[in-house]
Amino acid sequence: MTRAAALGALICLSAPIATIAQVRPFAAELQRRPVVSFDVQQRNMIDALLQLGQEQQVPIGIEYIDAAAFRNRITLHVRNSTMGALLDTITHGQGYRWLILDGVVMVTHDGAPQGRRNLLNTRIPEFTIEKEMILQAASLKLLGALYWTVNPDSTGIVGDYPGGNPKFRVGPLRMKNATIRQILNRIVSQRRNGAWVVQQPPWNMDNDPPYGLWRVFEYDGNNGAKQSGLLQVWGLGLHDPK
């Protein structure tokens, strides 16, 4: 047996059965899922994706943002389509692409930084939510875990974070040696009641801003909302993202 074949066999034997058995069928099912209607009027890519995710109760993670994601407007009046077709239409026109990762629709771009240049790849030795908590509190706890991992000698954290809706909760959960991306995906996908979006331009994804590297959004039924205006993004030439 060659080294490559042996490695492949080891990976297959080591992978959880649930991962092997469920990931591919879920991705195929989601791509084919019927969408009876979807209407979005003059919204940017971020808001269109959040609206689609909310209407279909599909968790979404947007790990890359640029000026086009805010500025370009999308208008769609679609009947009898599929989730996959709508995701293609919304993302491909802006130069983005999507994939299924950890049960979440991940929206990314070929320009997304890799390795240590992207804090989403930072591994947290152990992240635990002992008891059920609101999504925003879980996100805040993860922000703290990232901060202390990146700044082990720091004496404190400065900044604030928005309150959350007590109806949208997550936990309990425990993850070991997982990346920030993987933990965020678990937070929003455990009950499929939210999404997360980064708040840094791609060239600055190795810096953790005081207002948070990402923001979590609850699927609260407020369709058509301009959620992207809540993102604190600097460096894209967008004085006031709308």
Residues of the chain scoring pLDDT < 50: 1-22, 158
Please tell me the total count of domains within the chain: 2
Choosing from 83, 110, 137, the residue where a domain stops is 110
What is the predicted pLDDT for the residue at 36?
97
CA dihedral (228, 103, 148, 165) in degrees, to 10, reads: 50
What is the predicted pLDDT for the residue at 29?
87
What is the predicted pLDDT for the residue at 28?
83
What is the predicted pLDDT for the residue at 160?
52
Look up the CATH number of the domain holding residue 99: 3.55.50.30
pLDDT in tens, 106-135: 999 999 999 999 999 999 999 999 999 999
Q: Are residues 102 and 172 in the same domain?
A: no
Q: Which domain holds residue 137?
A: 113-216
Q: Are residues 122 and 94 in the same domain?
A: no
Q: Which two tokens stand for residue 112?
A: 């997304």
d(CA 219, CA 195): 8
Q: What count of other Cβ atoms lies within 10 Å of the Cβ of residue 241?
A: 19
What is the predicted pLDDT for the residue at 226?
87
What is the predicted pLDDT for the residue at 220?
86
- Is 71 domain-assigned? yes
Q: Which two tokens stand for residue 1?
A: 């047996």
Q: Are residues 130 and 89 in the same domain?
A: no
What is the predicted pLDDT for the residue at 165?
72
- Is 231 domain-assigned? no
Q: Are residues 205 and 120 in the same domain?
A: yes
